Amino acid sequence: MTTSLTRIAPLRGADVAARPAARDPRPDPGRPRETEYRPRHPLDLGRTVLYQRRGGGDPSMTVAGRVIWRASRTPEGVATLALRETHPGVIRGAAWGPGAGWALAQLPALCGEHDDPREFDASRHPLIAEAHRRSPGLRLSRTDLVFDALTSSIFEQKVTGMQAFGAWRRIVTWFGERAPGPTPRPLFAPPSIDGWRGIPSWAWHRAGLEPPQARTVVESARRGASIVRAVEAEPNGAGRDRVLTSVRGVGLWTAAETRIRAFGDPDAVSVGDYHLAHEVGYALIGRRVDDDGMLELLAPWAGHRQRVIRLLGTSGAPREPRRGPRVHPQDHRDR
């Protein structure tokens, strides 16, 4: 089966959750631009695309029924994209806003079209082999939006997921742009690069983002356009890491997370993660390891190490028992 993008009839009924006009004062968004995508590979749409969501309350991405809604700031403007698998192997997409054409053209990449696992040898470990067999539709999604991926990764530095997702939700809601279209709840595209740079210090504090992360976002935004151009010009992960880590406050963990989201990098490994090395070690050899040990364990899959990590996340393998107290988020907003 070959990939195709074709224009189709409008989504109707349950495909689009219309909002009552009385509750939505925005102008009628008009009819969307639409397409149909037939991937040339098995595709688990939810597991592939929802990896881009930053927590259940992400103001830029939600699920309503069988429809995935995503708001983004494309190079052509803000867009809302609605995705639904109508039949096996058929993805219908509708988009609103000035960036609608870009969002529809990028839809295959978001669904893992550029991910190529053909040279991946899952047989090197029985757990990986079984996870790969059970997840034929898992693909690595890419957004092709470098700065959004970088910013969301900075939010997640050295804090719990609850803290990072909460701060992301508040900042994007307060300073992002309301997404067009009949979204099931208000969605917001992240701020522009200039918008990130202009967020006042009190807002970072009230959102719950730690000062080092806030400073790193602002520092990145000061060089935002040049960072994006330089990263996009690099042909491989090492070059992209070199550009990203030239920003004060951005290390290898943040660079890897950015590559995973923006480019669907199948080999990126988030070295320095609080749990990742322990979980990889426990899953593959039954005991925790450090970052060096994790890299040694993943070395046989060079070129596909992120794929192994994603498969481990779907494998259902026993996880290492927690031996210490949980890390609890600290709220400094009233201080």
Asked if residue 60 belongs to a domain, the reply is yes
Asked if residue 295 belongs to a domain, the reply is no
- What's the pLDDT at 105? 98
Cα(280)–Cα(312) distance, rounded to whole angstroms?
8
Asked if residue 317 belongs to a domain, the reply is no
Calculate the CA dihedral of residues 31, 33, 34, 40 and round it to 10 degrees.
-170
Asked if residue 90 belongs to a domain, the reply is yes
Using 50 as the pLDDT threshold, list the residues of the chain that sit under it.
1-22, 332, 335
Q: DSSP H helical segments within 156-200, as ranges?
A: 161-175, 193-197
- What's the pLDDT at 319? 75
Taking alpha carbons only, the member of 131, 224, 216, 185 closest to residue 18 is 185
Q: b/e per residue, 29-44, with b = 16+ CB within 10 A?
A: beebbbbbbbbebebb
- What's the pLDDT at 316? 82
Q: Please give the tally of structural domains in the chain.
A: 1
Asked if residue 301 belongs to a domain, the reply is no
- What's the pLDDT at 325? 54
Asked if residue 223 belongs to a domain, the reply is no
- What's the pLDDT at 9? 40
- What's the pLDDT at 329? 54
Asked if residue 105 belongs to a domain, the reply is yes
Asked if residue 188 belongs to a domain, the reply is no
The two tokens of residue 57 are: 């309350």
Range of the domain at 63: 5-134
- Burial (CB count within 10 angstroms: exposed 0-12, middle 13-18, buried 19+), residue 47: middle
What's 80's domain CATH number?
A: 3.30.310
